[in-house]
Structure 1
Amino acid sequence: MKLSFTSLIAPFLTLAALSGSVYSQSNLPPNAAASVNGTVITNDVVEQGIQAALSQGQKDSPELRNAVLSKLIEISLLSQQADRDGLANSDKANRQLAQIRQNYLADLELATFSAQNPVSDSDIQAEYNREVASLGPQGTIVEYKVSDIAVATEEDAKTALARIKKGEAFDKVAKSMSLAPNKVQGGAVGWVQSGQVSPQISSVLVALSVGQVSPLPIKMPQGWYLIKLEDKKSSKPPTLEQAKASIRAGLTQKKQFEYLNQLRQGANIVVQ
């Protein structure tokens, strides 16, 4: 489990800038950035904190590096004091440390699995070809701007549809009747592709004209839906180079999901 340095760094930037180097580097063992009461903070740990800050938009600078080291020193001081206060052996600490260890090992196992089972360029090419072929002969991506109303019963759906047919605005009916969180936006869902929604929704969506509402309520496992097609657009698919990063991420996630399913199938899991 990685420390979230970014939220901790900002208050210390000014202090680090004023103080210059946080601690003298003299008399420290190799690869040591600092020592706190004999406990060494390695350069590797400092670099990990700096990389975490950079990934969150911070700019590399001497001030940032001093701030990261300063925060690590404070963490070391506090953890040492917690040891002296007997907190390290408390039930609460043991539970939290066990959870941190478990989370770290889980992340490490997935990272190791992905490193040992990388997504190849040929995998990416094959997935890209499959996605492009699924677009059909025109070779364009069709996107639909959708709003919806979700209710618990068919009767409620019919009531909402009747109000819309009488001329009431779809977004007004959504705000007053929908049970979905997007009711506050008048039921707005945003842009989707037909393959990103359930088959029940997709089959109705592709048959609608812009401005139309589904002629009948749509039955779903979680309730009944009305949808409105707000707008529609077509675009060219991205090139392989443009799509490569997202395809790699998607295939990596798919491999991890399959690995987790394999572990689950081989495990004895009991849920109360």
Structure 2
Amino acid sequence: MKLHYIRFLLSTAITLSFVTIAHSQNSLPINAAASVNGVIISNDMVEQGIQAALSQGQKDSPELRNAVLGKIIEISLLSQQAEKNGLADSDKANTQLAFIRQNYLADLELSTFMSKNPVTDADVQAEYNREIASLGPQGMIIEYKVSDLVVATELEALAALARTKKGESFDKVVKSISLAPNKVQGGAVGWVQAGQTLPQIANVLVTLSKGQVSPAPIQMPQGWYLIKLEDKKSSKPPTFEQAKAAIRNGLLQKKQYEFLSQLRQSSNIVVR
């Protein structure tokens, strides 16, 4: 999660709009790119803005660097004026600043954890080998077309399951009560492999017949799930080169999920 000024840079600085920049190198600290009414804009701040612009497809150039610095100066001027006008002490500002800080620290913690616990090439190769071995003697990939329903409590999930057992379509039940964004598509998830889902889901998915809904609610960190197997098919597995990007992404998500699960288990969380 980038700082707010970086997001602002991406939406405006990339147009290469300029402000007049007065250079007075002798009065600035070594790591300073500029000073606005005595407030230092560091080279590190400018570099973050430049890297954010490059990640969005911009090409490094003196013009881009000048535009980024110019936009940070504009932001500094506006923020200083907001301070003078007393806006920094408003409830709205305090809430937004706390939210930005929280998101930034969350992203920093997660990226720090991942840098200390990286997914290595050896991990990816080992996972590919494991997945290939799990295909059995036929060596075919089994894919499942899945729909799901997500609710907050087990009682709600049991009530939804009862509605499907009485003949109400899974699609209709999902659209009426699911909390997930895919409710508008009737809970459609698409084609997945069992190994691409979390164990709680995979263990149930492989036991279902086409058209069947999971016989009991499945507890997940996000809520209680019901899943329906819409269809099933088999295909030849991809080569390692074809699969390694998806495998790496899956392993990254698994590490993050496990880390967050540990934090949840060791914390006191109260929800109204």
Give the TM interval when normalised to the shorter protein.
0.5 to 0.7
- Matches of residues 217-256 of structure 1 in structure 2 within 5 Å? 218-221=214-217, 227-229=229-231, 232-239=233-240, 241-256=241-256
| TM-score normalized by the length of structure 2 | 0.68
What is residue 169 of structure 1 aligned with on the other side?
A: none
Aligned residues: 247
CA deviation after TM superposition for structure 1 residue 78, in Å: 1.4
CA deviation after TM superposition for structure 1 residue 109, in Å: 3.0
Instruction: Let me know the Cα RMSD of the aligned residues.
Output: 3.9
Conserved 8 A contact 2:141-2:237: yes
CA deviation after TM superposition for structure 1 residue 72, in Å: 1.0
Deviations 1:38-75 (A, max 9, x none): 22222221121121122233344444333322221121
Whether 2:200 is the aligned partner of 1:204: answer no
- Which amino acid letter does the alignment assign opposite residue 233 of structure 2? K
Conserved 8 A contact 2:145-2:191: yes
Distance 1:159 1:88, change over 3 A: closer
Conserved 8 A contact 2:163-2:173: no
Secondary structure of 1:71's aligned partner = helix
Deviations 1:14-38 (A, max 9, x none): 562xx5x852434344333322122
Q: Which has the larger radius of gyration?
A: 1
- Which amino acid letter does the alignment assign opposite residue 208 of structure 2? V
What is residue 128 of structure 2 aligned with on the other side?
A: 128
- Which amino acid letter does the alignment assign opposite residue 86 of structure 2? G
Conserved 8 A contact 1:8-1:71: yes
What is residue 119 of structure 1 aligned with on the other side?
A: 119
- Which amino acid letter does the alignment assign opposite residue 67 of structure 1? A
User: Unpaired segments of 5 or more residues in structure 2?
Assistant: 151-158, 218-223
Of residues 131-140 and 142-151 in structure 1, the stretch that sits farther from structure 2 once superposed is 142-151
Whether 2:78 is the aligned partner of 1:78: answer yes
Report the identity percentage: 59
| TM-score normalized by the length of structure 1 | 0.68
